Structure formats: C-alpha cells, structure tokens
C-alpha cells in the first residue's frame, strides 16, 4: 500500500509540474503513461515467474476500454457540467464497461485488439475544444491538495478492494486515480477547454501505456526481464512523444 501511495503521489506531482511548465496536454500525457503500473510491474518482475508477469500485462490491457470510457465521459460532462458530476459519471462509466467486458469472454488477442480500438475511438470521439499550449498557473497549495487528494483516493481504493467481491477487486485496483484527480482540479480552475486538453493528453499517454504492456508481454518471450522491461519503457515513451509531436503539428496546420 505504501508503494502505491508513493507512486500515486509522484505521478500526480510530476504531471502537475509538467502542466505548470508546458501546458495541460503535456501534463495529461505524462499522467496517462504507466507512472504507477510500470514501477509496480517492475517489482513484480523481480519476484514472479515470467508467465505470471505476461498474464498481468494482458489483464492490464483488458481494463483499457473502461479507462477510455471514464475519460470520454469526464471530457463530455466537463463541456457543460461541474467537476463533481464529471467525476461521478466517469466512474459510473468505468465500472459499467469494466464489469461488462468479462461477460464477453473474449480470447486474449481479441481483448488486446479491443483495447487498441478503444484508444483510437477515444481520440476520435473527444470534444473539439482548443486551448493554447502554455504554462499553467498551479500554486503550491493546489499542488499539495492534488497530491493529498490522490493519495486519499488510492488509500480508499486499496482498503475497499480488501472488502470487495473477487469480481470487483481487479477493477477497483485499475481505477484511473490520476485521470480522476487531475481533471477534477483542472475543470473548476481552468475551464472546460483546458480539461479536454488534459484528458486528450491523458488518452495519448494511454497509448504509451498500451505500448508498454504490449512490448513487455512480447519481449519476455525471447529476452531477459531487464531488457524486456527497458524495451517496454522505451516503447511507451517513443509512442507518447511521437503522438504528442504529431498532434502539435496537426494543430498548427489547422
């Protein structure tokens, strides 16, 4: 629990500092990367068999459509609604999709393909609001509140998972904490366009997230754990940076 709390705090803090320096889109992109799941997977890789880590990587990919539903719902609610309504509806969408996915009983390759399709659709279905890429004013007090709120949510989720039915435990642990806390703070302080830019960046980071776990699962079949883990991080960063640069180029051409 302590490890997860520290990783959640670090993820929210780094994403907020990136937004303060480079704008909402960059902060969101960093938040969407496996800043929490990646290090935890690294620790698991040191102690667990390779096959178990590959199963974890696949199970993580299976949750991505629910995360995309969460982000899309928050983005569209932010256009006209308050932050608390966006948070409520986004988490309702997350659990609705997350509980429905196992009922489909898809084979592993189909689940991974569905995750990639959901990410593509997520970008296409985002609200078309624009905000200028610029540093964001985030006070030290707001930074502290973001970190404390994220740690509180993480603590409540971990504690609740211990009491939840087995079917809900994995879904509870997959709740996008950073993707909930950052938009909830951004919407009342910076408006709908900034929140959409943040969430669009988060979706971009999630493509890197998918690249991380896909690369890790494949590389573990023929490379050592250290090389597979390093390759997964390289893939995540290259994909996220490439998508960000492509998005910036497309925005300048419009």
Q: Show me where the domains of the chain are located.
A: 2-253
Tens digits of residue pLDDT in 96-107: 998 888 777 777
pLDDT at 254: 44
As a whole number of angstroms, the distance between CA 39 and CA 225 comes to: 13
Q: Determine the pLDDT at residue 47.
A: 78
pTM of the entire structure? 0.86
What is the torsion angle, in degrees rounded to the nearest 10, for the CA atoms of residue 62, residue 118, residue 15 and residue 225? 40
Q: For position 19, what pLDDT does the model report? A: 86
CA distances to 3, 194, 215, 245 from 67, in Å: 22, 20, 20, 23
- The residue ranges of the chain whose pLDDT is under 70 are 1, 108-109, 131-134, 161-170, 173, 247-254
pLDDT in tens, 209-219: 888 888 888 88
Exposure string for 238-251, b = 16+ CB within 10 A, e = fewer: ebbeebbeebeeee
**Which long-range contacts link 120-125 to residues 24+ away (Cβ below 8 Å)?**
121/68, 122/68, 122/71, 122/72, 122/203, 122/206, 123/200, 123/203, 123/204, 125/72
pLDDT at 137: 82
């Amino acid at each position: 629990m302590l490890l997860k709390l520290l990783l959640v705090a670090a993820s929210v803090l780094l994403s907020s500092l990136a937004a303060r320096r480079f704008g909402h889109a960059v902060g969101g992109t960093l938040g969407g990367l496996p800043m929490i799941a990646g290090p935890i997977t690294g620790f698991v890789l040191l102690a667990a068999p390779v096959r178990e880590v590959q199963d974890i990587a696949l199970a993580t990919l299976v949750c991505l459509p629910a995360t995309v539903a969460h982000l899309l719902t928050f983005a569209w609610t932010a256009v006209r609604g308050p932050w608390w309504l966006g948070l409520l509806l986004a988490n309702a969408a997350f659990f609705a999709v997350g509980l429905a996915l196992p009922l489909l009983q898809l084979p592993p390759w189909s689940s991974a393909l569905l995750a990639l399709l959901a990410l593509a659709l997520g970008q296409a279905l985002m609200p078309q609001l624009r905000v200028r890429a610029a540093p964001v004013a985030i006070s030290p007090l707001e930074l502290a509140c973001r970190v404390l709120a994220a740690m509180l949510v993480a603590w409540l989720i971990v504690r609740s998972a211990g009491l939840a039915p087995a079917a809900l435990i994995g879904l509870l642990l997959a709740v996008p904490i950073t993707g909930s806390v950052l938009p909830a703070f951004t919407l009342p302080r910076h408006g709908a366009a900034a929140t959409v830019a943040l969430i669009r960046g988060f979706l971009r980071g999630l493509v890197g997230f998918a690249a991380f776990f896909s690369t890790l699962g494949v590389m573990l079949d023929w490379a050592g754990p250290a090389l597979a883990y390093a390759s997964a991080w390289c893939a995540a960063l290259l994909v996220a940076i490439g998508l960000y640069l492509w998005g910036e180029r497309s925005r300048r051409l419009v």
